[in-house]
Amino acid sequence: MSRNANDAAGNMSADEILRFSRVSMRYGRGPDVLSDVSLSLPRGSFHFVTGPSGAGKSSLLKLIYLAARPSAGSVRLFGEDVTQMAARDLPRTRRRIGVVFQDLLLLDHLSAFDNTALPLRIAGHKASEYRGDVAELLAWVGLGNRMGALPPTLAGGEKQRLAIARAVVNRPEILLADEPTGNVDHDMALRIYRLFVELNRLGTTVIIATHDQDLVARSGRPVLHLEKGRLKPLPPQGPVT
């Protein structure tokens, strides 16, 4: 998972999708929220990011989806060093990444269908080009009969699945999720987790930041554990039953 400094400084191998090389990050003049983080993730992998509140989980995700830049070190995505990437080139790379935000960021005045289709509309696609695909995707996440519903009328688990549908409608190569099971019960958490598993089976690299230690322990997935901004990989646990 982690690599030595010499390897981390070189070119990415063909099976890698993401590499951090001695990355540190701070906000303004504050202390480092991430410190000397090096990691390498293969394409098609599935990782959890864990750690106590304030450990740097959300900051790690921000660096991956290019919402922030490191204060030291380098980040490589899809074979490119994005640390110094020009602002005009960021949207092109971001389109290859789907994000399920902790606060979901659904638009309450848009239906479930229109929330899901929004990334396609912004990219300039016509409704006639994506109508069937969006309907199929919503059916796949269990919202086929709720396509016209507004987010305020949806239950918590339905909102989470809608956010997942919107995040993957562009078929991203990487899917990031920040506490996607934090506000749902255990059964719904497992249902949401299994959606991520299916996406991973289809080839998407999945990275989930979570406090849900029971789900992590039972999933059997590799864990990236952060403590005080430093990465401490943990071994996978037993499988989900």
**Separation CA 125–CA 104 (nearest Å):** 23
Question: pLDDT at residue 74 above 60?
Answer: yes
Question: Which pair of tokens denotes residue 106?
Answer: 């659904």
Residue 45, phi-psi category: left (phi > 0), alpha (psi -120 to 50), beta (remainder)? beta
Count of Cβ atoms closer than 10 Å to residue 241 Cβ: 5
pLDDT tens-digit map of 102-152: 999 999 999 999 999 999 998 899 999 999 999 999 999 999 999 999 999
- What pLDDT score does 232 carry? 82
pLDDT tens-digit map of 203-219: 999 999 999 988 898 88
- What pLDDT score does 234 carry? 63
**Separation CA 15–CA 127 (nearest Å):** 35
| Maximum pairwise Cα distance, the chain | 53
- What pLDDT score does 182 carry? 84
- High-pLDDT (> 90) share of the chain, %: 77
**Separation CA 33–CA 192 (nearest Å):** 29
DSSP H or E stretch at residue 100 = strand 97-100
Phi, psi of 66 (to 5 degrees): 65, 30
Which residues, in sequence order, are bridge partners of residue 59? none
Confidence of residue 1 (pLDDT cuts 50, 70, 90): very low
Confidence of residue 3 (pLDDT cuts 50, 70, 90): very low
Average pLDDT of the chain is 90
Q: How far is CA 139 from CA 71, 133, 155, 165, 177, in A?
A: 42, 10, 16, 10, 21
DSSP codes joined into one string, 46-96 = EEEEE-STTSSHHHHHHHHTTSS--SEEEEEETTEE-TT--GGGHHHHHTT
Mean pLDDT of 32-38: 96
**Separation CA 180–CA 104 (nearest Å):** 9
Question: Which pair of tokens denotes residue 43?
Answer: 């394409």
Alpha helices by DSSP H, the chain: 5-9, 57-64, 90-94, 112-122, 127-140, 156-168, 186-201, 213-219
Confidence of residue 239 (pLDDT cuts 50, 70, 90): low
- What pLDDT score does 7 carry? 46
Higher-confidence residue of 89 and 238: namely 89
DSSP letter at 196?
H
